[in-house]
Amino acid sequence: MTRLLRSRPRRAGLLLTAVACAAAAATPAVAEPTPVYRDASRPVADRVEDLLSRMSLQDKIGQMTQAEREAADPAAAAEAGIGSILSGGGSAPTPNTAESWADMYDAYQRAALNTPLGIPILYGVDAVHGHNNVHGATIFPHNIGLGAANDPELVERIGRATAEEVAGTGIDWDFAPCLCVARNDRWGRTYESFGETPERPTAMASLVTGLQGSSLDGPASVMATAKHYIGDGGTTGGEDQGNTEIDEAELRAVHLPPFKAAVERGVGSVMISFSSWNGVKMHVHDYLINDVLKGELGFTGLVVSDWQGIDKIDGEEGFTAAEVRDSINAGLDMIMVPYDYQEFMDLLRQEVEAGRVPMSRIDDANRRILTKKFELGLFENPFTDRSFTPTVGSPEHRELARQAVRESQVLLKNEGGVLPLPKDSGKIFVAGKNADDIGNQSGGWTISWQGESGPITPGTTILEGIRQAVAPGTEVTYDRDGNGIDSSYSAAIAVVGETPYAEGEGDRPEGMGLDEEDRATLAKLQESGVPVIVVMVSGRPLDIAAELPNWDALVAAWLPGTEGAGVADVLFGDHEPTGTLPMTWMVSADQQPINEGDGKSPLFPYGYGLTY
Ligand code: GLC
């Protein structure tokens, strides 16, 4: 209201004893009433209906479209009316800093808000073990290690810490947790699973609560994603994006419980699996999506495709009108296109106008998407809460990650109680390609999609942790290949295993043993006659039964992330080993799949773990 100050005309003789300021409101122009969808005091359902009533078909199709940031900058995204943006693995702004991410996010929101209806975007990333695309972020152990820790409360705290780092860069949607039940360790995504039975993935759905908080519009809350629905971990041969050939009873008993738990925790989104169930692609599985997920489980959030997931329906490159139509009609609400978004929007419009996708389906998808945008508070608080930006890679989060590393270590062999090592051991020899390599100990989905060896982000290597743990007088020698080892050393620690990979790149249809380099390093250490302690840094159990007799101790460290000191905490006894196997450990690769209760004889059974 504009106040005009007017002084009264003086009248002769009549002197106003006090100048009365007449604050007179300017005659108010007839102000537009605030649209219901912009009124935060109104119920979300009312806001959704009001907004929907103002949207064109094109607006609605835009909300169902998710594009990769590299395909659509803020102006292009706003111009096209795209409702969601993502960063695929490793897709980061330059420089790759938390502030730069926040600036990028805010630019997309600013552009979106400048459109006629001003609908904010959703921005999704794979923060699957911390905010792993961001340089300097805390990298937590991958899920297989958290499954070994078997501590749902810890996992919830990790979710909260991850949410703070994600929110500190503006991002409002996390494509996590993967609730897959990995049945065949040949699968390249075994390390994304909390366990081979539904028990631990169901319990670790607590990550959803950590990420989303008590309400989606709470401080640092981000929308979680239960993925990949359903049966991605059960494919024949452990083939990534393969075919899960089991009956419905087994699908329901083994793969459904973690999603049920996530829905009960209010998970905001579900991502569909690339895989098939008995030959039918999940991306067009009307029964499992519409009837089971949305019907039986009562999931009211949004269902998103995987990356180019609809392209893969017919097995040909690219997507067709039929693939667009069939996936949307099967219950997908948003399509992670991610590049040819205009083509997708045109085809979907064509299918709606031809009556092959009912308007009711379009409206249902929009209701689900818009409900999440309102619940996240994006209309009221569309920009980054910069108070959380300093949490990225913070000492507190790194300490939490170190605790998770400690709890995830599984002691599988300890001949003669060689562990814990005394801190004043005199001379300790450390060897192996994974001893002094942040990239190797973090695994895939770290800074880049596939991850990579080397000092890719700040952290503490396992070797650095060992150096920090020993007493001042203890000499720690490192040689990657074991050169220089001799009987003067009190013990040799060999940190071996796998180098980074993600998804199908990590499938191991052939051998699952150690590589040549590791075997040569171990042989050199064994020749010295010094006790050999093996620390296995890998995304799965490996085929090592033949070598095990030559080792005095074996610790499964999994993929610990940036806080490698947590491994030394266990090796030197500051923390008793408490981890237990989330996956059965095979005697040999030809036993795969090998799982609890299948009657096969493993090297170490599911749930096995020693302590001191
Ligand atoms: C990938 C993965 C999925 C991820 C998505 C976006 O292919 O299957 O887990 O969330 O694409 O990066």
Angle between helix 359-375 and 321-329 (nearest 10): 70
**110-147: per-residue pLDDT in tens?**
999 999 999 999 999 999 999 999 999 999 999 999 99
Half-sphere exposure of 139 (CA within 13 A, CB side): 31
CA of 206 to the centre of ligand 1 (A): 21
Which atom belonging to ligand 1 lies closest to the Cα atom of 225?
A: 10
Which atom belonging to ligand 1 lies closest to the Cα atom of 449?
A: 12
Which atom belonging to ligand 1 lies closest to the Cα atom of 87?
A: 12
Q: How many Å apart are CA 225 and CA 222, to the nearest integer? A: 10
> Going by CA atoms, what residue is nearest to atom 6 of ligand 1?
88
Question: Is 80 exceeded by the pLDDT of residue 223?
Answer: yes
Could you tell which of 307, 335, 339 is best to mutate to test the pocket of ligand 1, judged by most ligand atoms within 8 Å of the CB? 307
Pair type for strands 3-6 and 22-25: antiparallel
Q: How many Å apart are CA 562 and CA 573, to the nearest integer? A: 20
The answer to whether residues 298 and 272 touch, using CB atoms and an 8 Å cutoff, is no
Question: Is 80 exceeded by the pLDDT of residue 3?
Answer: no
CA of 238 to the centre of ligand 1 (A): 17
**533-572: per-residue pLDDT in tens?**
999 999 999 999 999 999 999 999 999 999 999 999 999 9
CA of 569 to the centre of ligand 1 (A): 33
CA of 306 to the centre of ligand 1 (A): 6
Question: Is 90 exceeded by the pLDDT of residue 6?
Answer: no
Can 59 be counted among the known catalytic residues? no
Percent of the chain whose predicted confidence (pLDDT) is above 70 = 95
- The pLDDT of residue 5: 34
Q: Which amino acid, 23?
A: A
> Going by CA atoms, what residue is nearest to atom 7 of ligand 1?
307
- The pLDDT of residue 32: 78
Q: How many Å apart are CA 378 and CA 84, to the nearest integer? A: 12
The answer to whether residues 391 and 165 touch, using CB atoms and an 8 Å cutoff, is yes
Q: Catalytic one among 59, 172, 232, 306?
A: 306
Q: What domains does the chain contain, in order, with CATH numbers?
A: 36-380 (3.20.20.300), 395-591 (3.40.50.1700)
Question: Is 60 exceeded by the pLDDT of residue 18?
Answer: no
Q: How many Å apart are CA 384 and CA 97, to the nearest integer? A: 14
Q: How many Å apart are CA 123 and CA 132, to the nearest integer? A: 15
* Average pLDDT taken over every residue of the chain: 95
Question: How many CB atoms neighbour CB 69 within 10 A?
Answer: 21
Q: How many Å apart are CA 163 and CA 397, to the nearest integer? A: 11
- The pLDDT of residue 31: 74
Is residue 13 very low, low, confident or very high in pLDDT (cuts 50, 70, 90)? very low
Could you tell which of 91, 175, 179, 191 is best to mutate to test the pocket of ligand 1, judged by most ligand atoms within 8 Å of the CB? 175
By 3-state DSSP, what share of the chain in percent is helix, strand and coil, each rounded to 5?
35, 15, 50
CB contact burial 339-377 (16+ within 10 A = b; e otherwise): ebbbebbebbbebbeeeebeeebbeebbbbbbbbbbbbb
CA of 196 to the centre of ligand 1 (A): 21
3-class SS string, 46-61: HHHHHHHHHCCHHHHH
Which atom belonging to ligand 1 lies closest to the Cα atom of 178?
A: 9
Q: How many Å apart are CA 412 and CA 466, to the nearest integer? A: 20
Which among 243, 262, 253, 121 has a CA at the least distance from the CA of 184? 243
Structure tokens at 149: 């820790």
**142-174: per-residue pLDDT in tens?**
999 999 999 999 999 999 999 999 999 999 999
Give SS3 for 312.
helix
- The pLDDT of residue 9: 35
Which atom belonging to ligand 1 lies closest to the Cα atom of 336?
A: 6
Which among 370, 383, 444 has a CA at the least distance from the CA of 132? 444
Question: Is 50 exceeded by the pLDDT of residue 12?
Answer: no
- The pLDDT of residue 11: 35
Question: Is 70 exceeded by the pLDDT of residue 26?
Answer: no
Compute CA distances 178 → 131, 202, 440, whole Å.
15, 11, 21
Sign, CA dihedral 351-352-358-360, equals: positive
Question: Is 50 exceeded by the pLDDT of residue 45?
Answer: yes
Question: Is 80 exceeded by the pLDDT of residue 200?
Answer: yes
- The pLDDT of residue 28: 55
- The pLDDT of residue 22: 52
**476-535: per-residue pLDDT in tens?**
999 999 999 999 999 999 999 999 999 999 999 999 999 999 999 999 999 999 999 999
Strand locations in 498-583, DSSP E? 532-537, 553-556
Which among 558, 597, 595, 598 has a CA at the least distance from the CA of 149? 558
> Going by CA atoms, what residue is nearest to atom 12 of ligand 1?
88
CA of 74 to the centre of ligand 1 (A): 22
Give SS3 for 469.
helix
Helices (H), 28-177: 44-54, 57-63, 74-80, 98-113, 143-149, 152-167
Is residue 408 very low, low, confident or very high in pLDDT (cuts 50, 70, 90)? very high
Which among 474, 157, 436, 124 has a CA at the least distance from the CA of 307? 124
- The pLDDT of residue 27: 57
CA of 176 to the centre of ligand 1 (A): 10
Pair type for strands 532-537 and 491-497: parallel
Burial class (CB in 10 A: 0-12, 13-18, 19+), 290: middle
Residues with C-beta less than 6 Å from any ligand 1 atom: 88-89, 126, 175, 227, 306-307
Compute CA distances 260 → 229, 272, 297, 375, 582, whole Å.
11, 15, 6, 21, 20
Could you tell which of 143, 306, 310 is best to mutate to test the pocket of ligand 1, judged by most ligand atoms within 8 Å of the CB? 306
Q: Which amino acid, 384?
A: T
Which atom belonging to ligand 1 lies closest to the Cα atom of 274?
A: 8
Is residue 2 very low, low, confident or very high in pLDDT (cuts 50, 70, 90)? very low
- The pLDDT of residue 8: 35
Burial class (CB in 10 A: 0-12, 13-18, 19+), 459: buried
**302-325: per-residue pLDDT in tens?**
999 999 999 999 999 999 999 999
Q: Which amino acid, 211?
A: L
CA of 213 to the centre of ligand 1 (A): 23
**410-435: per-residue pLDDT in tens?**
999 999 999 999 999 899 999 999 99
Could you tell which of 126, 283, 505, 507 is best to mutate to test the pocket of ligand 1, judged by most ligand atoms within 8 Å of the CB? 126
Helices (H), 285-358: 286, 321-329, 341-353
> Going by CA atoms, what residue is nearest to atom 8 of ligand 1?
306
Is residue 29 very low, low, confident or very high in pLDDT (cuts 50, 70, 90)? low
